[in-house]
Chains A and B, each alone.
Chain A
Amino acid sequence: MSDTRVKATDSPPPPGLVTPRPQLRKPRSRPYALTVRALGPFALLGLWWAASATGLLTPDVLASPAEVLRAVGELWGNGQLPDALTTSLTRSGLGLLIGLAAGLTLGITTGFTRLGDELLDSSLQTLRTIPFLSLVPLFMVWFGINETAKILLIAVATTFPMYVSASSGVRNTDPKLVEAMRSFGMSRLAIVREVVLPGALPSLLAGLRLSMTLSVIALIAAEDINATAGIGYLMSQAQSYARTDILAVCILVYGLLGLTADILVRLLERVLMPWRTPQGARR
C-alpha cells in the first residue's frame, strides 16, 4: 500500500528526534499484589516474634506470639472470647447503626436544602468539636450504668464523621445534573434517591469508614466504664491479673475488627458503584 515509503526505513534517524517514552503502569499479577499487601503485617509479626525470642521483649511487658496464640485457644475454649465478641459487636453495631442513620439524615438535609444548612449546620459543627469522651460522665448521670448509655455513646461518636462526609458529598453533586432531572419532572425526593445519593456514595463510604473506626474507639471507652461483659471487660480483668497475653489478644481483636471494617467498605465500594471503572484514576 505505502511501499514507496518502505525504502526510507534504512536511512539514519533525523537529528533532534527522540523516541517517545510513555510512563505506563505495568500490569501486575494478583498474587504479586496480595504478597506486597501482606508484607507489612507479616514484617510486624516477625519483628514481634524476634523481639520475644531474643528476650528483648519480656513476658511482663508483652507476651510472645506463641503465648498469645495459646491465650486465644484458652479463651475460645472456655467460651469467654465468643461471648465477649458477641456482646461488644452488638453494642458497636447498634450504636453504629443509629449514628449512621442520624449522620446520613442530617447530612442530606444540610447538604441538599438551604434551610437545613442555615438551621442546623452551625450547631452541628459546634457539637462536632466536643470530644465524645467528655460525654461519658454525663451519659452515666443521664442513663445510668447500662447498655443504653454505651450504645448512645457509640452512636454520638459515629454520627459526626458520617454527617460531615454526607453533607459535603451531597453538596458536591453536579448542579447541572440536578437541573436536568428537575426539567424531566423528577421530584426532590426522587432526585435525592436516584441522583444525589449515588453521586455522593464515594464520600458516604469514606464517612462509613471513619465511623466504623470510631465505633471501635467509642466501644473501648464505653466498655472501660463499669462493664460486666465484652472485650473491654475482658481487658480490665486481664489488666488486674497482669495477663499481657490476654491483653494482646484483645488489642489484636480490636485491630482485626478495624481491618474487617475496611475490607467490608472496599467490598461495598465494588458492589454499590458498578459504574466506576475498576482501576480508578491512573496514579
Chain B
Amino acid sequence: MTENAHQQAAVRVRGLRRVFGTRAVLDGLELDIARGEFVALLGASGSGKTTLLRILGALDGADGGEVLVPEARTIVFQEPRLVPSKRVLANVTVALPRGRREDGLRALAEVGLERHADTWPATLSGGEAQRVALARALVREPELLLLDEPFAALDALTRLKMQDLVDELCRRHRPAVLLVTHDVEEAVRLADRVAVLRDGKLVTDEKVTVARPRDPGDAAFAALRRRLLDDLGVPAASHPVRTPELDRVGVI
C-alpha cells in the first residue's frame, strides 16, 4: 500500500451528538481514522465509548452530526455472540454467500482453530470462542474493524495471547481499527493512536510514539500510560508506575 493511500480517511466523524434522556453522552465529538490505522479509544465505563462504536457500526443512531464509515465494516463484540446451533465454520461464514467455505477455513487457520471447524461453539473455551468471532469479522475483509472490548471477558494470559494475535492479524490485513477498551496498557501496546473520551468529547488524541515491540517497562511506555490514566481521572497514588522487575515477577 502506498503512503498516499495510507492518508485516506476510513472514518470521519464531525460534531457527533447522542443524547440519552437529558444526558448528552456524545457531545460534539470529532474523530478521524486513516486507512490501516489502529486507534484505541479509552474511557471510563459509561463515558459513551461503546455508544460511539455502535453508531459507527450502524447499530445505534446519532442525534446530530456527520458520520462517515466504509461500506465494509465488522464488529467483534465483548462476548463472542456465536450462534449455538451452527458449527464453528458455519459461524465464521454466517450470512456470506455460498462457496466461501475455503475463505472461512483460511480465516480459522489464521486464528489457529482450523481443527475446530466442525465442532459446536458450546465446546469451545472463552478464548477460542472469541478467536472464532475474530475470524468471523476478518473473513469479510473489512476496511473498518470495530473491536468492542473484545478481551475484557478473557483471563489475563489468554488476553495477552489474543492481543498479540489481533496485533499480527491487523498488521497483515491492514483494516482501519477502532478498539474500545478501558485497559490503558492494552491500548498503548496495540494502537498507532490513543484517544480518551470524557464528557462526550475526545480530551486526548495523540500518536503513540513508543518503539515496537512495546514493553511496559519502557520509560516512554510508562510515561504515556501515566498521562492517559491522569486523563481518565485515576490518581497517581493508586497506580504506582511498575518497574520491569516487578512485571517479570508478576508473570511468573
A and B part of one assembly: yes
State the A residues within 8 Å of B (CB): 1-2, 5-6, 8-9, 13-24
- Chain A CB within 8 A of B9 CB: yes
Contact B14 A9 (CB under 8 A): yes
Q: A20-B55, A22-B58, A22-B61 are in contact. Are A13 and B68 (CB under 8 A)?
A: yes
Main secondary structure of the interface of A (DSSP, over half): loop
Q: How many angstroms from the CA of A2 to the CA of B203 in the assembled complex?
A: 8
Instruction: Fill in one digit per residue for B164-183: 1 if any A CB lies within 8 Å of its CB, else 0.
Output: 00000000000000000000
Other A-B contacts than A8-B14, A16-B71, A18-B69, 11 sampled, CB-CB below 8 A, are A1-B202, A2-B201, A2-B205, A5-B30, A9-B14, A9-B15, A14-B68, A18-B68, A20-B57, A22-B60, A22-B61
A-B contact list, 12 entries, CB within 8 Å: A1-B203, A5-B30, A5-B32, A9-B66, A16-B70, A17-B68, A17-B70, A18-B70, A18-B71, A20-B56, A20-B58, A22-B55
Q: How many angstroms from the CA of A19 to the CA of B70 in the assembled complex?
A: 8
- Neighbour of B67 across the interface among A2, A8, A9, A19, CB < 8 A: A19
- Chain A CB within 8 A of B59 CB: yes
Closest chain A CB from B12 CB (angstroms): 6
Q: How many angstroms from the CA of A22 to the CA of B201 in the assembled complex?
A: 22
Closest chain B CB from A22 CB (angstroms): 5
Q: Would you list the 9 A-B pairs with minimal beta carbon distance, nearest first? A: A20-B58, A17-B68, A14-B9, A5-B30, A22-B58, A22-B61, A2-B30, A9-B14, A24-B61
- Chain A CB within 8 A of B158 CB: no
Contacts of A1 in B (CB 8 A): 201-203
Residue of A nearest to B56 (CB): A20
Contact B58 A17 (CB under 8 A): no
Q: Which of A16, A20, A21, A22 has the largest count of B CB atoms less than 10 A from its CB?
A: A20
Contact A6 B30 (CB under 8 A): yes
Q: How many angstroms from the CA of A1 to the CA of B231 in the assembled complex?
A: 14
- Neighbour of B8 across the interface among A14, A18, A20, A24, CB < 8 A: A14
- Neighbour of A17 across the interface among B12, B59, B60, CB < 8 A: B12
Contacts of B8 in A (CB 8 A): 14-15
